[in-house]
């Protein structure tokens, strides 16, 4: 391998292991690998960083907006480009634009927009996440109850068609408004079925996971909770063993004690991964926006409807990683994996670890730079 340059002075996270005494070597073809700092090739130019950590760029499977725009407001290529730019500036290498419960026309437009973005190779667009409309009104959160409905045969057919040309299609559903047979059909077509916004009981959730659902959307939030005699969707997601759980780690949505309990309880090959549930505020200084005609306000790290209902999160993945390390007590390598390789493993089109997709994070996680900009 002929090396173009090296980066030293920072810890190196390669997606699995955190290296303390290594530099990152970059080959002429852009591929990267850690190397002992005292064994760098002769003549290789070295950029010395002031601490921090080098990591693969983030992967975010739940991104509703960014850069001042919401995907729901204008599900088109222009909106996706703005979202891509905003989240790229936050260190995200790949994400799933997410459409919140909306009309069939908006859903079709979102599918067409993402298909267009994939054809045009818009940076960071890895597929589509449809969060609804087949949810539970009882656990609707900020979703518009008037738009929530059961999945029909036409809905199913449209999703199966979309899965043929969208690399990763993820859909959040509630067992109250989909059948087990529909979950199986979707899963067999390669669609990631995630349970969320549901008031289902433990046994129903376990049947849905057995039928092919693979994820739980924003664990603990907008779902039936775990109690001593009724474990609910929370208990099923942690108990099943094959379920990956998205988590909003912002100090607002889930108490750190509950996060620690979930990490201790989660078993099996899947894991807990971090999501931002980002809204239009991500990467912008706006103080509010609208969703399905309702005003959402930004205040002190919270996004809320006028009645106080949480509506997405005012969060970036660097902030989430820092919260996991500093407050929850997650090891740095594990927290970084929850924002990079763990969610990436669910994607068909995954961000690679070439130098174009590697970032540098400052020690306090307040600064994020792409290595290609250093």
Mean pLDDT value across residues 1-29: 90
Q: Which residues contact 111 (CB under 8 A, 6 or more apart)?
A: 128, 158, 162, 166
Query: CA-to-CA distance for 97 and 276, rounded, in angstroms?
Result: 12
User: Which tens digits make up the pLDDT trace of 156-184?
Assistant: 999 999 999 999 999 999 999 999 999 99
Flag whether pLDDT at 92 surpasses 80.
yes
Can 14 be counted among the known catalytic residues? Answer: no
Give Dmax (Cα) for the chain: 66
Distances (CA, A) of 169 to 28, 166, 186, 217, 290: 34, 6, 10, 14, 25
Question: How far is 254 from 221, CA to CA, in rounded Å?
Answer: 8
Domains present along the chain, CATH in parentheses: 3-55+355-373 (2.30.40.10), 58-344 (3.20.20.140)
Looking at residue 256, what is its pLDDT? Answer: 98
Q: Is the pLDDT of residue 20 over 60?
A: yes
Given a cut of 60, whether residue 144 has pLDDT beyond it is yes
**Distance of alpha carbon 32 from alpha carbon 29, whole angstroms:** 9
Angle at 243 between CA 351 and CA 265, to 5 degrees: 115
SS3 letters across 91-134: CEEEEEEEEECCCHHHHHHHHHHHHHHHHCCCCCECEEEEECCC
User: Is the pLDDT at 267 greater than 90, yes or no?
Assistant: no
Q: What is the per-residue pLDDT for 314?
A: 92
Mean pLDDT score of the chain, rounded to an integer?
94
At 216, is the pLDDT very low, low, confident or very high (cuts 50, 70, 90)?
very high
Q: What pLDDT is stored for residue 40 in this prediction?
A: 86
Residue with tokens 């730079």: 369
pTM exceeding 0.85: yes
Predicted local distance difference test score (pLDDT) of residue 67: 95
The DSSP output letter for 15 is: S
**Cα distance between residue 290 and residue 364, in whole Å:** 32
What is the distance between the alpha carbons of residues 318 and 137, in angstroms, rounded to a whole number? 33
Q: What is the pLDDT of residues 247-265, one digit of tens each?
A: 999 999 999 999 999 999 9
- Find the DSSP H helices in the chain: 77-88, 104-119, 153-162, 180-188, 202-211, 232-239, 256-265, 317-323, 332-339, 341-344
Catalytic residue among 60, 199, 277, 330: 277
DSSP bridge pairs for 302 = 299
pLDDT tier, 321 (very low <50, low <70, confident <90, very high otherwise): very high
What is the number of other CB atoms lying within 10 angstroms of the CB of residue 264?
9
pLDDT band at 293; cut points 50, 70, 90: confident
- Let me know: does 71 contact 83? Beta carbons within 8 Å: yes
* Helix, strand, or coil (residue 82): helix
């Amino acid at each position: 391998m002929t090396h173009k340059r090296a980066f030293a002075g920072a810890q190196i996270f390669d997606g699995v292991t955190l290296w303390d005494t290594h530099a990152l070597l970059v080959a002429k073809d852009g591929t990267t690998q850690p190397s002992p700092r005292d064994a760098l090739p002769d003549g290789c130019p070295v950029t010395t960083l002031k601490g921090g950590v080098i990591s693969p760029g983030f992967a975010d499977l739940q991104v509703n907006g960014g850069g001042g725009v919401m995907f729901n407001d204008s599900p088109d290529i222009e909106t996706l480009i703005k979202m891509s730019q905003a989240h790229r500036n936050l260190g995200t290498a790949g994400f799933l634009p997410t459409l919140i419960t909306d009309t069939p026309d908006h859903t079709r437009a979102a599918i067409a927009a993402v298909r267009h973005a994939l054809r045009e190779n818009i940076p960071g667009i890895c597929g589509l996440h449809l969060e609804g409309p087949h949810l539970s009104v009882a656990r609707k959160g900020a979703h518009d109850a008037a738009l929530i409905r059961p999945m029909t045969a036409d809905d199913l057919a449209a999703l199966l068609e979309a899965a043929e040309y969208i690399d990763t299609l993820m859909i959040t559903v509630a067992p109250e408004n989909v059948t087990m047979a529909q979950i199986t059909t979707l899963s067999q077509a390669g669609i990631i079925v995630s349970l969320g916004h549901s008031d289902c009981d433990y046994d129903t959730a376990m049947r849905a996971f057995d039928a092919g659902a693979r994820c739980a959307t924003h664990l603990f939030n907008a779902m039936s909770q775990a109690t001593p005699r009724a474990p609910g969707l929370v208990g099923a997601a942690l108990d099943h063993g094959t379920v990956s759980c998205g988590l909003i780690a912002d100090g607002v949505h889930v108490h750190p004690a509950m996060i620690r309990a979930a990490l201790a309880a989660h078993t099996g090959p899947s894991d807990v991964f971090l999501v931002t549930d980002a809204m239009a505020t991500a990467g912008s200084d706006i103080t509010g926006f609208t969703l399905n005609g309702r005003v959402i306000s930004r205040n002190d790290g919270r996004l809320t409807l006028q009645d106080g209902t949480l509506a997405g999160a005012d969060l970036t993945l660097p902030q989430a990683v820092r919260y996991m390390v500093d407050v929850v007590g997650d090891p740095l390598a594990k927290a970084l994996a929850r924002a990079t390789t763990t969610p990436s493993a669910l994607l068909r089109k995954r961000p690679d670890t070439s130098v174009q997709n590697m970032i540098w994070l400052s020690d306090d996680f307040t600064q994020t730079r792409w290595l290609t900009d250093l």
